[in-house]
Chains A and B, each alone.
Chain A
Amino acid sequence: MNFQLNLDTETVEHAHLSVATCVQPETTLRDLLVTLKEDRRGAALICEHGRLVGIITERDVLRLMAAGHMDLDGAVGSVMVRDPVTLARTDTVGKAISVMSEGGYRRIPIVDDQKRPVGMLKVSSVLHYLVEHFPQVVYTLPPTPDHATQKREGA
């Protein structure tokens, strides 16, 4: 059995891309929060005429919550992060890992050359990719590494 972990050749499409929740900039924060909860998603892309203009992640929401007095009726366009870092379908899994690591991002929007979102690459999908492409033997290690460690007796 060969290893299949080709991080510098396989593209992000080989990792499972998630469907991205897209909303308009004029959507209220209240509607966005409800949508994220219903869809069980940690972020939404903000799009204008189908093109990506911003992102709001759970981290951004957390900051608003911590500051107190959230303006739930305000437009997400005024609190979103503009022009987020994106990747193309043709970028490699290795590049995605590197971008996530350096930027501290947990998800990266994947866009086409017109900046239209085609999906979201989540850090959890990268982890899943690793698990799927790594030999099972690695994961069949004892659940607690201590339990099989009897020391050899004698010679």
Chain B
Amino acid sequence: MTICPHCGFENIEGVDECAECRHSLADTEEHVPATEVERALMHDQIAVLASRPAITVPPETPIRDVLRLLVEKEIGCVVITRDGKLAGIFSERDALMKLNVQADELGDEPVSRFMTPDPQALSYNHKVAFAVQRMDQGSFRHVPIVTDDQTVTAIISARDIMHYLTEKMRQGGAEL
């Protein structure tokens, strides 16, 4: 049996492309997951992560209010939306790197001045492995989840991935 890494369909051994989604299976046959973590990473979609609803603010929000929001909600980043669509992201990392010792003086400035505009986004049906790779390549710790029309629905973080991996390791019998 060859499981399609793209859609998860169980194909009969030896076929060249997935009978369900036509994704090429040429390279996948030898990759038999050995552990629960590997299996999960290959097949699970982002929807299984315990993502949180994104906290969104408009671009003109004063940075002082955004800092308070990050602390009060115990979150690592806020998503900036314009008319409900993804416009940018501002993280505690940005606070340290861009506000730094001037945080007090810059308090009235709009968040749009310091946000990372047009961040990479993913959708719920992307694979967890894909999200991990994107975070690694881009050195992000947060990725907004959007619908087809760029409406932000949630945010996933490196922490969500760590939670997920811990759960999968336990399911696989690892004592941690």
Q: List A residues at the B interface (Cβ < 8 Å).
A: 1-3, 5, 7-8, 30, 33-34, 36-37, 40, 42, 58-59, 61-63, 65-66, 68-70, 72, 94-95, 97-98, 100-102, 104, 106, 123-124, 126-128, 130-131, 134-135, 137-142, 145-146, 148-150, 152
Q: Which B residues touch A142, using CB under 8 A?
A: 6, 23
Q: List B residues at the A interface (Cβ < 8 Å).
A: 5-7, 19-23, 27-28, 30-31, 33-35, 37-38, 41-42, 64, 67-68, 70-71, 76, 92-93, 95-97, 99-101, 103-104, 107, 123, 125-127, 129-130, 132-133, 135-136, 139, 141, 158-159, 161-163, 165-166, 169, 174-176
Q: How far is the CA of A146 from the CA of B147 in the complex (A)?
A: 12
Q: Is B159 a contact of A8 with CB atoms below 8 Å?
A: no
Determine which of B21, B97, B125, B130 lies in contact with A139 in the assembled complex, contact meaning CB atoms within 8 Å.
B130
Q: Which A residues touch B27, using CB under 8 A?
A: 137, 140
How many residue pairs link A and B with beta carbons under 8 A? The number is: 163
Q: How far is the CA of A8 from the CA of B107 in the complex (A)?
A: 46
Q: How far is the CA of A37 from the CA of B97 in the complex (A)?
A: 5
Q: Which residue of A lies closest to B33 (CB)?
A: A3
Q: Which residue of A lies closest to B19 (CB)?
A: A152
Q: Which B residues touch A66, using CB under 8 A?
A: 64, 67-68, 70-71
Q: Which A residues touch B71, using CB under 8 A?
A: 62-63, 66
The residue among B41, B67, B136 with the most chain A CB atoms within 10 A of its own CB is B136
Q: How far is the CA of A140 from the CA of B6 in the complex (A)?
A: 9
Known contacts A100-B162, A150-B22; can you find 6 more A-B pairs with CB under 8 A? Answer: A3-B31, A5-B35, A8-B175, A97-B165, A100-B159, A127-B135
| Given A63-B71, A123-B141, also A7-B162 (CB < 8 A) | no
Q: How far is the CA of A37 from the CA of B141 in the complex (A)?
A: 18
| Given A63-B71, A138-B127, also A124-B95 (CB < 8 A) | no
Determine which of B37, B139, B176 lies in contact with A5 in the assembled complex, contact meaning CB atoms within 8 Å.
B37
Task: Give 24 CB contacts A-B under 8 Å.
Answer: A3-B38, A8-B175, A34-B101, A36-B96, A58-B93, A58-B96, A61-B92, A61-B96, A66-B70, A66-B71, A70-B103, A95-B176, A101-B159, A101-B162, A101-B163, A101-B165, A123-B159, A124-B135, A124-B136, A124-B139, A130-B41, A141-B5, A145-B130, A149-B21
Q: Which A residues touch B23, using CB under 8 A?
A: 141-142, 148
Q: Which B residues touch A1, using CB under 8 A?
A: 30-31
Q: Is B126 a contact of A145 with CB atoms below 8 Å?
A: yes
Q: Is A58 a contact of B95 with CB atoms below 8 Å?
A: yes
Q: Which B residues touch A123, using CB under 8 A?
A: 141, 158-159, 162
